[in-house]
A and B are shown apart, each in its own frame.
Chain A
Amino acid sequence: MDLETTLHVATELAGAIWVTLALAAATLPLGFMFAALTTWARKSPYRFAQTVASAYVLVFRSTPLLVQIFVLYYGLSQFAWVRSSPAWIVLRDPFACAIIAMSLCAGAYTAEVMRGGLAAVPQGAIEAARSLGLSRFKTFLLVTAPIAMRRALPAYSNEIVVTLKSTSLACTITVMELTGVAKDLMSQTFAVIEVFCMVAAIYLAINMILIFALRSLELSLSPAYLRPASRMRRMIPWMSRSIAR
């Protein structure tokens, strides 16, 4: 690849980073919201809510996201009544469709993460809080949620990274994010491996920042007695070595 092409590719890709980030930034909070709703429904005493929540998680976790995006975008638009309904204002827009499909999917996965986190809360801690006279809500807020959050964070950080990478599927419904632009550039210039490596470097950089930020959050959420001195050394061994000396 000559210099001119490289520069052209690099500038085009740089412009698309924002689209990818915007997709992820919109998807994550929405997904979290769906997950929280699902978790609440699963724990609720209403059988109907439980069934709906379980079905939602099952369906969205078990089918490829690509299929979900397709069905939402191309599938719904085949019905005339959808096109004449007010929902069409949102569904007409590919960007909005991508966000809806991805956050529904992320929500299902995040709900599983939340389930895992809640299951890891020791029953004794909850009982202790209740016997101290804390209300249900206060127990949840002060005891269950913090412990569950800490337990679920490694899995949730996985989920964040996966979501960021799955934004690449939005290009199948004409949202020109990083992968979409890269595909276009590849078919223009034929520099497939080179363009792909550049895209990968961008995704990697974004994800590394995310992973390290989440790792430090995880560390800061751990109580001091669970935070082994060697943790830091594990993260950056060469650095701590020089410190140890």
Chain B
Amino acid sequence: MNGGASIVDLFIWGSGGWSRPLLTGLCVTVACASIGYVLGIVLGLAVAFAKLGRNSWLAAAATVYTTLLRGVPPLLVIFLLFFGTNGALMWIARGFGYAGYIEVDAFTVGVLAVAFVSAAYSSEVFRGAHAAIPKGQFEAFAALGLPPVVGLWTVIMPQMLRLALPGLGNVWILAMKETTLLSVISLAELMRVVGLAGRTTGQPFVFYGAAAIIYLVLIAMSSRAFKAVEARMRWA
């Protein structure tokens, strides 16, 4: 709004320019999203099998977990995880006679928040994929005399993964966007830097536009990768 600095000046590398903080923010975003996503997928697979398994209590717990994490606004998941773990740690430390302030670092909490939420969504994706596998496949490996674990691993899992891929691509986008909320726990990810830069320079559009382009490139690149894997698996 102030119209003082030109757009080029805003993005100069080094003193007074915002390229460097933006890049740092981008790194935090990508690191947090990718680690959280991978953890989330593994956890999500476990949750999905818990839902599909014989143990009804485990299945109920898994259902409650997905309902809760999908139903609650993601910002609250982050809030509770951050202040909850800190509170719990301090409570334990107090038992040992330490009364100071303890904090799990914001990055770890960010990764966990992304992991928990993407686990909830990916478990639904896996469940859907499992349901889409023809019943004959299960009967086939049973007829071959394969033990259930081996059958699941060699026959069902590959098909499940293939069917789940488009859904998992969505979850990846979700994980990326989840990170935009992590600034509340003082993690300087991309959107936080963008917001700060916009307000400090009085040029919110320049920075929001830049953010849009960065996210667009990131997600376009990753969905290309997903499509490539999808195409590959179709022939396998």
Q: Report whether B125 and A155 are in contact in the complex, using a CB–CB cutoff of 8 Å.
A: yes
Q: Which residues of B, 28-68, contact A by the 8 Å Cβ criterion?
A: 51-52, 56-57, 59-60, 63, 67-68
**B197: CB under 8 A from chain A?**
no
Minimum Cβ distance to chain B for residue A105 (Å): 11
Q: Report whether A237 and B59 are in contact in the complex, using a CB–CB cutoff of 8 Å.
A: yes
Q: Which residues of B contact A26 (CB under 8 A)?
A: none
Minimum Cβ distance to chain B for residue A92 (Å): 19
Smallest Cβ-Cβ distance to A75: which chain B residue:
B205
**A36: CB under 8 A from chain B?**
no
Q: Report whether A155 and B167 are in contact in the complex, using a CB–CB cutoff of 8 Å.
A: yes
Report the separation of the CA atoms of residues A203 and B67 in the bound assembly, to the nearest whole angstrom.
11
Q: Report whether A66 and B76 are in contact in the complex, using a CB–CB cutoff of 8 Å.
A: no
Q: Which residues of A contact B204 (CB under 8 A)?
A: 70, 74
Give how many A-B residue pairs fall within 8 Å (CB-CB): 117
Q: Report whether A62 and B215 are in contact in the complex, using a CB–CB cutoff of 8 Å.
A: yes
Q: Report whether A62 and B220 are in contact in the complex, using a CB–CB cutoff of 8 Å.
A: yes
The main secondary structure of chain B at its interface with chain A is: helix
Q: Which residues of A, 58-112, contact B by the 8 Å Cβ criterion?
A: 58-59, 61-67, 70-71, 74-75, 78, 109, 112
Q: Report whether A199 and B73 are in contact in the complex, using a CB–CB cutoff of 8 Å.
A: yes
Total A residues in contact with B, Cβ cutoff 8 Å: 48
Report the separation of the CA atoms of residues A74 and B209 in the bound assembly, to the nearest whole angstrom.
12
Minimum Cβ distance to chain A for residue B232 (Å): 16
Q: Report whether B215 and A67 are in contact in the complex, using a CB–CB cutoff of 8 Å.
A: yes
Minimum Cβ distance to chain B for residue A57 (Å): 10
**B72: CB under 8 A from chain A?**
yes
- In the complex, which of the residues B67, B76, B166, B212 contacts A200, with contact meaning CB atoms closer than 8 Å? B76
Q: Which residues of B contact A125 (CB under 8 A)?
A: none
- In the complex, which of the residues A66, A75, A158 contacts B121, with contact meaning CB atoms closer than 8 Å? A158
Q: Mark A49-63, 1 if CB is under 8 A from B, else 0.
A: 000000000110111
Q: Report whether A63 and B216 are in contact in the complex, using a CB–CB cutoff of 8 Å.
A: yes
Q: Which residues of B contact A236 (CB under 8 A)?
A: 60
Smallest Cβ-Cβ distance to A109: which chain B residue:
B170
Q: Report whether B191 and A211 are in contact in the complex, using a CB–CB cutoff of 8 Å.
A: no
- In the complex, which of the residues A112, A240, A241 contacts B170, with contact meaning CB atoms closer than 8 Å? A112
**B83: CB under 8 A from chain A?**
yes
Q: Report whether B128 and A62 are in contact in the complex, using a CB–CB cutoff of 8 Å.
A: no
Smallest Cβ-Cβ distance to B79: which chain A residue:
A196
A63-B212, A151-B132, A193-B79 known; A237+B60 contact, CB < 8 A: yes
Minimum Cβ distance to chain B for residue A21 (Å): 15
**B208: CB under 8 A from chain A?**
yes
Q: Report whether A61 and B76 are in contact in the complex, using a CB–CB cutoff of 8 Å.
A: no
Pairs of residues from A and B, 7 with the lowest C-beta to C-beta distance, nearest first: A237-B56, A207-B71, A62-B219, A154-B128, A204-B71, A200-B76, A62-B216
Q: What are 9 residue pairs bridging A and B, where the CB atoms are less than 8 Å apart in the complex?
A: A58-B220, A66-B180, A67-B215, A74-B204, A78-B205, A151-B128, A207-B72, A233-B56, A237-B60
Known interface pairs A71-B212, A154-B131; 9 further A-B residue pairs with C-beta atoms within 8 A, sorted by A's residue number: A63-B211, A63-B219, A70-B204, A74-B205, A158-B124, A199-B73, A207-B71, A234-B51, A241-B56
